[in-house]
């Protein structure tokens, strides 16, 4: 028997983050969907791993909650189509007897699990940990951090009331920073994301400098350098 919505709710609510629920049981899907919506998240659903892989490739999700016993998760876990994007954190629902098979698959990164039969309170708690620091996507595809907003529909950015245009490389860089707030991104990571290949350090430094001039005309500065490591988007220097 799974948890119920009547369990004591968590005092911490979501901030509109987009969660994909991947389960094939309609009752479990409805329970998770309704609970996550009540907790303040936007929720999408898929009944198979193949369907989930297509959705993750097309849309940005902040978290995927999925049944680890589904037979067709290969495309979602290792498919090139998904790996080319910023893979969302994953919360697996798994039976105790399946842990020996699941744990080696977890590897490094933002992944966790709860065992079945699960408690809704535990699912919400693990989801909050995985979503910590994730930047919610506004309806319509806009990414935001404080007063900085990047609109995927128009490929324009604004900070407060000031709108500014971006070159394609600046757009890809700013989007990468917004998808990974409070995280230091190496020059190699940035270079491969922006251009699809590693380029000379001065090319990255010049690109970051141009973007800073557009973004950080107001206080506080949002784009920072972590000397020897890379760049990050946040509110204060480290």
Residues 22 and 127 in one domain: yes
- Domain boundary at 110, 131, 152, which? 131
Q: Do 54 and 115 reside in the same domain of the chain? A: yes
What's the CA gap between 221 and 215, in Å, rounded? 8
Q: Is the same domain home to 179 and 116?
A: no
- Judgement on whether residues 110 and 191 belong to the same structural domain of the protein: no
Query: Over the stretch 140-159, which tens digit does the pLDDT of each residue have?
Result: 557 888 889 988 777 789 99
Query: Do 173 and 207 share a domain, yes or no?
Result: yes
- If asked whether residues 80 and 26 sit together in one domain, one would say yes
For 196-228, how does the pLDDT look when each residue is reduced to its tens digit (9 = 90+)? 777 777 889 999 999 999 999 998 999 999 998
- Residue 104 lies inside a defined structural domain of this protein: yes
Could you tell me the CATH number of the domain that includes residue 163? 1.10.10.10
Residues 31 and 75 placed together within one structural domain of the fold: yes
- Look at residues 104, 131, 158 and tell me which one is the last residue of a structural domain: 131
Does 134 or 102 have the greater pLDDT score?
134
Residues 50 and 152 in one domain: no
- Verify that 157 and 56 share a domain, yes or no: no
Residue 10: the pLDDT is 40
Q: What is the mean pLDDT of the chain?
A: 79
What is the pTM (predicted TM-score) of this model? Answer: 0.52
Could you read off the pLDDT of 154-179 as tens digits, one per residue? Answer: 778 999 889 998 999 999 999 889 88
Most confident among 79-83, 101-105, 130-134 (mean pLDDT): 130-134
* Domain count of the fold of the chain: 2
Residue 28: pLDDT band (50, 70, 90) is very high
| Structural domain boundaries enclosing 59 | 18-131
In this prediction, residues 112-126 reach a mean pLDDT of 88
Residue 75's pLDDT band, with cuts at 50, 70 and 90, is low
Among 131, 152, 179, identify where a domain stops. 131
| Residues 104 and 37 grouped into a single domain | yes
Inside any domain, residue 7 = no
Do 59 and 147 fall within a single domain?
no
| 213 and 155 part of one domain | yes
């Amino acid at each position: 028997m799974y948890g119920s919505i009547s369990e004591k709710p968590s005092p911490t609510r979501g901030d509109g983050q987009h969660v994909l629920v991947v389960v094939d049981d309609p009752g479990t899907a409805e329970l998770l969907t309704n609970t996550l919506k009540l907790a303040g998240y936007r929720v999408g659903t898929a009944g198979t791993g193949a369907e989930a892989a297509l959705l993750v490739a097309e849309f940005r999700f902040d978290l995927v909650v999925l049944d680890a016993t589904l037979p067709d998760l290969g495309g979602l876990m290792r498919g090139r189509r998904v790996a080319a994007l910023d893979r969302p954190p994953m919360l697996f629902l798994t039976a105790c007897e399946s842990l020996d098979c699941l744990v080696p698959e977890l590897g490094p990164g933002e992944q966790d699990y709860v065992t079945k039969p699960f408690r809704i309170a535990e699912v919400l708690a693990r989801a909050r940990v995985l979503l910590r620091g994730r930047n919610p996507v506004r309806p319509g595809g806009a990414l935001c951090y404080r007063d900085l907003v990047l609109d995927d529909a128009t490929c324009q950015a604004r900070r407060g009331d000031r709108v500014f245009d971006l070159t394609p490389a600046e757009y890809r860089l700013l989007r990468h920073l917004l998808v990974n707030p409070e995280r230091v991104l190496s020059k190699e990571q940035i270079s491969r994301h922006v251009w699809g290949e590693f380029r000379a350090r001065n090319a990255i430094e010049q690109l970051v400098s141009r973007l800073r001039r557009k973004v950080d005309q107001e206080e506080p500065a949002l784009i920072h350098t972590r000397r020897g490591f890379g760049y990050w988007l946040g509110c204060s220097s480290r």
